[in-house]
């Protein structure tokens, strides 16, 4: 693990976590998502709490994604008072579950920017040849009823990046390890921000075990094995960029949602992703920057040291 220089990675993650503007940005996004879901609950005549639980709770994500998760009864408290990791996890949970809500918002023309609505309407048309959300949903149901294999509906609609597609190329980006890296674990002392009581309660209530101060979280480093022959990996090695598990699919997912709201800031979004994914680690800053390019990152190239670039940007957001 030494060649990854985890200390360097965690120092940058800490700087992003401590950045006040990044904290405020993530908090405001959580508030916007909550408002979106409350209005969705009212319009669809569902109970507000049930909707928040469905789209923001830990069940919205894969079971092995335990990092930053909390029990659903604390969702509102974490949005209002939680740490940046809890809030980013809530956002990621919505990213993985909120397709129907986003489609509803597009149809109602509320809560999203007009630019975001236009992007999604065009995407719907390009994907299916239909011009409205109502027709799109009918199209999807017809496909499902006839047994067609569909791509992930949500990612396909919102994502501009080639990161997800790169996993399915002739030379895939990465594959799940047969066995986790057993010699690497996330130690409680390395976690930043400090674990909240809510996170510890979630770990206990879900029968995860903390042994010798090592957390039961499965990191990208443990789970993914990169393909050394993939274009991205060769490119990163050529420019001596830090590799954890290749360009970040979660950054792609988060960016595609963050840019739908009227407070989108590409730099603050990058800082938020670094805060969230570089501490364990799940990704390196270069892997996050690569996934951010389609969403407006236009003053960085892979030949530029990613750590230096992010540190210089942070100085402008003090």
pLDDT tens-digit readout, 51-83: 999 999 999 988 878 899 999 999 999 999 999
* Total Cβ atoms within 10 A of residue 111: 22
Bridge partners of 224, per DSSP, are: 176
- pLDDT at position 168 is 45
Can you tell me the distance from the alpha carbon of 103 to that of 215, in angstroms, rounded to the nearest whole number? 37
Q: Where are the domains of the chain?
A: 2-315
pTM value is: 0.91
Residue-wise DSSP of the chain: -GGG-HHHHHHHHHHHHH-HHHHHHHHHHHHHHHHHHHHHHHHTT--HHHHHHHHHSGGGS-TT--TT---GGGHHHHHHH--HHHHHHHHHHHHHH-HHHHHHHHHHT-SS-HHHHHHHHHHHHHHHS--SHHHHHHHHHHHHHTT-----HHHHHH---SHHHHTTSSS-SEEE-SS--TT--EEGGG-SSPPPHHHHHHHHHTT---BTTEE----HHHHEEE-TTSHHHHHHHHTT---SSSS-HHHHHHHHHHTTSTT--HHHHHHHHHHHHTTTTS--HHHHHHHHGGGT--S--TTS-HHHHHHHHHHTT-
- Residue 147 has what pLDDT? 62
**Is 60 exceeded by the pLDDT of residue 200?**
yes
Instruction: Check whether 296 has a pLDDT greater than 90.
Output: yes
Q: What percentage of residues in the chain have a pLDDT greater than 70?
A: 90
Two tokens at 140? 């999807």
Cis amide prior to 99 (ω within 30 degrees)? no
Within 51-203, strands assigned E span: 174-176, 186-187
Q: How far out from the chain centre does Cα 171 lie?
A: 24
Most confident of 125-134, 138-147, 304-313: 304-313
């Amino acid at each position: 693990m030494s060649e990854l220089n985890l200390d360097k990675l965690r120092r940058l993650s800490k700087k992003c976590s401590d950045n006040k503007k990044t904290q405020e940005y993530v908090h405001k996004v959580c508030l916007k998502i909550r408002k979106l879901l409350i209005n969705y609950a009212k319009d669809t005549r569902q109970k507000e709490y049930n909707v928040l639980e469905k789209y923001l709770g830990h069940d919205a994500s894969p079971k092995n994604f335990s990092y930053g998760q909390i029990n659903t009864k604390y969702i509102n408290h974490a949005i209002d008072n939680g740490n940046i990791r809890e809030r980013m996890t809530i956002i990621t949970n919505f990213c993985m579950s909120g397709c129907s809500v986003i489609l509803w918002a597009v149809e109602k023309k509320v809560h999203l920017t007009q630019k975001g609505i236009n992007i999604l309407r065009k995407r719907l048309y390009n994907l299916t040849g239909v011009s409205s959300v109502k027709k799109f949903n009918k199209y999807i149901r017809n496909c499902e009823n006839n047994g067609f294999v569909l791509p992930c509906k949500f990612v396909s609609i919102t994502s501009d990046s080639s990161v997800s597609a790169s996993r399915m190329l002739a030379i895939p980006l990465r594959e799940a390890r047969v066995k986790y890296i057993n010699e690497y674990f996330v130690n409680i002392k390395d976690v930043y921000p400090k674990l909240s009581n809510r996170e510890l309660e979630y770990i206990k209530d879900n029968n995860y075990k903390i042994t010798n101060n090592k957390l039961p979280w499965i990191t990208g480093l443990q789970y993914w094995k990169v393909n050394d022959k993939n274009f991205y990996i060769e490119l990163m090695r050529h420019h001596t960029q830090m590799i954890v598990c290749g360009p970040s699919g979660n950054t792609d997912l988060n960016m595609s949602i963050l840019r739908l709201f009227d407070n989108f800031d590409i730099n603050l979004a990058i800082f938020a992703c670094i805060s969230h994914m570089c501490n364990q680690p799940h990704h390196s800053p270069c892997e996050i920057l690569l996934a951010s390019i389609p969403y407006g990152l236009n003053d960085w190239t892979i030949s530029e040291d990613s750590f230096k670039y992010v540190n210089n940007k942070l100085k402008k957001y003090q």
